[in-house]
Structure 1
Amino acid sequence: MVVRLLADPRDHPREAVALLVGAVLLFAGLDVLYTVLGSRTTGPAGPWAGLVFRLVLDAAVLAVLRAPLLVTWLTIVGTAVLQLSELVSPGLLVASPVIGGDPLTLGATPVVVNVVVQMRNQRSTWVLIGVLTILATRPWDPSLLTISVGLLSTAVPALLGRYMAARRTLMASLRERAERTDREQRLLAEQARAEERARLAAEMHDVVTHRVSLMVLQAGAIEVTATDPETRRAAAGLRDAGMQALDELRELVGVFGGERTGESPTVGPPAPRVELRDLVDASVTAGVDVRLDCAGDADAVPAAVLRTAHRVVQEALTNVHKHAPGGRVRVDVRYGADAVNVAVTNSAATADAALGRTGSGSGLRGLRERVAMIGGTLQAGPRPDGGFAVRAELPVAR
C-alpha cells in the first residue's frame, strides 16, 4: 500500500498523519487476521511471537514522519531478523503455514519506502532503499514469487513516491509562476493607470487650468470696468468660483501624479476656505436636524484634505435629504496630526423618501474614489437601528 501524501507532511501534518495511521492499522489488522486464521509461529517463543514482532515494527512506522531514516533502519533490521530467524531457527518468528504474501518481508515496508522517498530525496535514502530491495528480493535464493513481492514492496513504492514528490514540486512551481505572472500583470496595470493619470494631470495643468485662469482674469476685468453694481457682483462671484476651481484643479493635478517644477502663479486673492458649518446650516434650513461636532485644529490640515472632508459631509447630507427625511443627523469631525476622521450618522427616516428613487447610486462610489485618491478609506453602510453611517479616514500628508 502506498501513502499518498497531499503535500509535504511537515506542512500538512493532519492529512499525512491520518493517511499514515490508516495504513499502519491496515497492515496491523492483516497481520492479526493471518494469525487468527492459523498462520502462527511454532518456535520456543510461542505461537504469538511472530505477531508481536510484526506489530511492534508496524507501530514503529508511525514515527516515519518525524524520523524517516531511523524507521527505515528499523525496517531493514526487522526484515533481516526475520530472514536470519528462518535460517537459524525456522518457526521462531516466521509463521507456518504462510497464508499469503512473503513471510520474510514486513507488510508495512511499502509505506516506509514511499514516505521516506517523498520526504528525503537524498543519496543515503536511495542506498537504504537499495538494501531493502536486496533483502526483499533475496537474489541468493531467487524465485518468481520472492522477486515479484520484493519489487512490489520496495522498488515500485519508491518510484511512485519519487513521482509524487516530483509532481508536487512541479505543481508548486506552476502555482508560484502563476502567482508571479498575476503580480506582474497587476504591476503593469498599475503602471498603465499611473501613466494615464499622469497624462490626465498634464492635460488638466496645460489646458484646463489655463482656460480657467483666463476666465478668472476676464471676470476680474469685468468687475473692475463694469458700472452696473449687479454686473460687478456677478463678476466677483464668477471670479471667486473660478479661483476655487483653480485651487481644486491644482490639487487634483498633484493627486493624479502630475509633476511640474515650481508653482503655478496665483490669480487674484486666494479662494475662500470651505466651511462645514455652511453645509450644516443649509441642511438645517431645509428642515433636517443636524448636529456638528468638530475637534482639533483645522488650520493645520492641508486644503486638499479639508475639501475632501467637505465632500464627504456634503454627499452624506445629500443622501439624508434623499433617503432619510425626518431623521436626525450627527456630524463628527476630528482633525488630528496624522489623519482627519469624519463620521456622519443618521437615524431612520420618519417620512416618505420621495427623492430616494431619483439617485443614480454613483455618489458614494465617486466619493470613495475621491477619498482613495488622497490615500484615505471610506466605509458606508446601514446601521442596526435602520439608519445609515458614513465614515472616512483621511491621512494628513506631511
Structure 2
Amino acid sequence: MRGKHTGMWPNRREALWLTAASVLFGGLDLLVHGMSPPTTGWTGPHAALLLQLSVDVSLLFLARFPVQVASWALAVAVLMLVSEEFAPGLFTPVQPAAHTALPFATPAITTNLVRLTDRRRAFLLIGLLAVLGTRPWHPSWDITPLGVVNTVLPALAALYLHARRELLNSLRERAERAERE
C-alpha cells in the first residue's frame, strides 16, 4: 500500500490541505442545509447536516485512513439514498436544495483514494460511490451527471496527474543519466 506514514499527516502541506477541505465542505454543507427544509423523521431536523458534517470531519483522517474514510462516505451515501427512496425526510429533506446522493466531500475522497491506496481497492470504492451517485436505476439529468462529476472525474484527474508526474520524473532521470554518460 502506498502512502504509509507514522503521523496523522505525512507533512504540513497535507495537513493544511485536508483541514482547508474539511472547512470548505463543512461551509458548503451549512449553506445547503440553510437553504433546505429540515429533515422530518425521528432522527431530528438536522440529520442530513450531521451526516454531511461527519464526512467533512472524516477528511482530517483521509491521509492516514483513506479506505475507512471512503467507506464512511459510502455508508453515508447509502443512508441518504435509502432515506430518499424509502423514508423521505429521515436522513435527507423531502425537498432538498441540492439533489445529490453523495456527500459533498466525495471528490476530495476519490482523488485521495487513487493517490493513497492500491488501485483495486480505490476503483472498487470509487465504483460503488459512482453507482450510488449516478443512480443508474433512476437516470436523471439532475443527478446522473453530478454523480459522474463527483466520483469518476476527480479519480481520472488524479490518475492523469500521477501518470504525468511519473513520466516527467522518468524523463528527468533519463536526461540526467545521458548527461552523466
Q: Distance in 1 between matches of 2:142 and 2:116?
A: 30
Report the AA paired with residue 167 of structure 2: L
For residues 311-336 of structure 1, give each alpha carbon's deviation from its aligned partner in whole angstroms, at most 9, with x where no partner exists.
xxxxxxxxxxxxxxxxxxxxxxxxxx
Asked whether the equivalents of residues 10 and 63 of structure 2 are also in contact (C-alpha less than 8 Å), the reply is: no
The one of 46, 49, 58 equivalent to 2:47 is 49
Does the alignment pair 1:75 with 2:76?
no
The one of 113, 127, 130 equivalent to 1:130 is 127
RMSD: 2.1
Asked whether the equivalents of residues 73 and 103 of structure 2 are also in contact (C-alpha less than 8 Å), the reply is: yes
Give the corresponding residue for 2:20. 22
Does the alignment pair 1:139 with 2:129?
no
Alpha-carbon offset, residue 101 of structure 1: 4.2
Q: Distance in 1 between matches of 2:175 and 2:117?
A: 27
Report the AA paired with residue 69 of structure 1: V
- In structure 1, runs of 5+ residues without a counterpart are 1-7, 186-398
Give the corresponding residue for 1:84. 82
Asked whether the equivalents of residues 135 and 143 of structure 2 are also in contact (C-alpha less than 8 Å), the reply is: yes
Q: Secondary structure at the match of 2:142?
A: helix
- Within-5 A mapping of 1:314-393: none
Report the AA paired with residue 50 of structure 2: V
- Within-5 A mapping of 1:209-228: none
Does the alignment pair 1:157 with 2:154?
yes
Share of identical aligned residues, percent?
35
Asked whether the equivalents of residues 41 and 93 of structure 1 are also in contact (C-alpha less than 8 Å), the reply is: yes
- TM, length-normalised to structure 2: 0.87
Alpha-carbon offset, residue 83 of structure 1: 0.7
Alpha-carbon offset, residue 65 of structure 1: 0.9
Q: Secondary structure at the match of 2:143?
A: helix
User: Larger C-alpha radius of gyration, 1 or 2?
Assistant: 1
Report the AA paired with residue 110 of structure 1: P
Q: Which has the higher helix share?
A: 2
Q: Which has the higher strand share?
A: 1
Q: Distance in 2 between matches of 1:146 and 1:51?
A: 19
For residues 197-255 of structure 1, give each alpha carbon's deviation from its aligned partner in whole angstroms, at most 9, with x where no partner exists.
xxxxxxxxxxxxxxxxxxxxxxxxxxxxxxxxxxxxxxxxxxxxxxxxxxxxxxxxxxx
Q: Distance in 1 between matches of 2:136 and 2:166?
A: 35
Asked whether the equivalents of residues 99 and 143 of structure 2 are also in contact (C-alpha less than 8 Å), the reply is: no
The verdict on how the C-alpha distance between 1:101 and 1:85 changes in structure 2, with shifts beyond 3 A counting, is closer
Q: Secondary structure at the match of 1:144?
A: coil
Q: Secondary structure at the match of 1:154?
A: helix
Q: Distance in 1 between matches of 2:4 and 2:28?
A: 25
Q: Structure 1: which 4+ aligned runs deviate by more than 4 Å?
A: 8-12
Give the corresponding residue for 1:375. none
Q: Distance in 2 between matches of 1:160 and 1:101?
A: 24
For residues 283-312 of structure 1, give each alpha carbon's deviation from its aligned partner in whole angstroms, at most 9, with x where no partner exists.
xxxxxxxxxxxxxxxxxxxxxxxxxxxxxx
Asked whether the equivalents of residues 9 and 16 of structure 1 are also in contact (C-alpha less than 8 Å), the reply is: no
Q: Secondary structure at the match of 2:121?
A: helix
Structure with the larger RCO, 1 or 2 (CA within 8 Å, 6+ apart) = 2
Alpha-carbon offset, residue 84 of structure 1: 1.1
- TM, length-normalised to structure 1: 0.41
Asked whether the equivalents of residues 69 and 109 of structure 2 are also in contact (C-alpha less than 8 Å), the reply is: yes
Alpha-carbon offset, residue 88 of structure 1: 3.0
- Within-5 A mapping of 1:249-288: none
Q: Distance in 2 between matches of 1:171 and 1:15?
A: 22
Report the AA paired with residue 75 of structure 2: V
- In structure 2, runs of 5+ residues without a counterpart are none
Q: Distance in 1 between matches of 2:76 and 2:123?
A: 18
The verdict on how the C-alpha distance between 1:155 and 1:38 changes in structure 2, with shifts beyond 3 A counting, is closer
The one of 162, 173, 191 equivalent to 2:170 is 173
Q: Distance in 2 between matches of 1:81 and 1:37?
A: 21
Q: Distance in 1 between matches of 2:4 and 2:121?
A: 20
The verdict on how the C-alpha distance between 1:141 and 1:38 changes in structure 2, with shifts beyond 3 A counting, is closer
The one of 107, 119, 143 equivalent to 1:110 is 107
The verdict on how the C-alpha distance between 1:12 and 1:21 changes in structure 2, with shifts beyond 3 A counting, is same
